[in-house]
Amino acid sequence: MPTYQYACISCDHAFEAFQSFSENPLTECPQCKGEVRKVYSTVGVVFKGSGFYKTDSVAKPAATSE
C-alpha cells in the first residue's frame, strides 16, 4: 500500500498515512481536526539502457582503423 504524506493547514502537523489507491484522501487532522493537504515530494528517476535522449545523443568515439 502506498504511503501518503499530509500536512495540517491549521497547526502545521505533518504525518503519514498508509492508504490504498481506492481510498479517499484524508481531510481531517488527527490532532486539531483542521483541514489537511497532501504533501508531494520529489522522486528519483534513473534512465538506463537505450531509447533515452541522454544515452542516445552522446557522441560515440570514432573508430580507429590500423
Question: pLDDT tens digits for 2-37?
Answer: 899 999 999 999 999 999 989 999 999 999 999 999
Domain ranges in the chain are: 3-42
Q: What H or E segment, with its residue span, contains residue 4?
A: strand 3-8
Distance CA 18, CA 2 (A): 6
Please choose, from the candidates 2, 43, 40, 42, the residue with its C-alpha nearest in 3D space to the C-alpha of residue 21. Answer: 2
pLDDT band at 62 (very low <50, low <70, confident <90, very high): low
Q: Is the dihedral of CA 33, 17, 27, 37 positive or negative?
A: positive
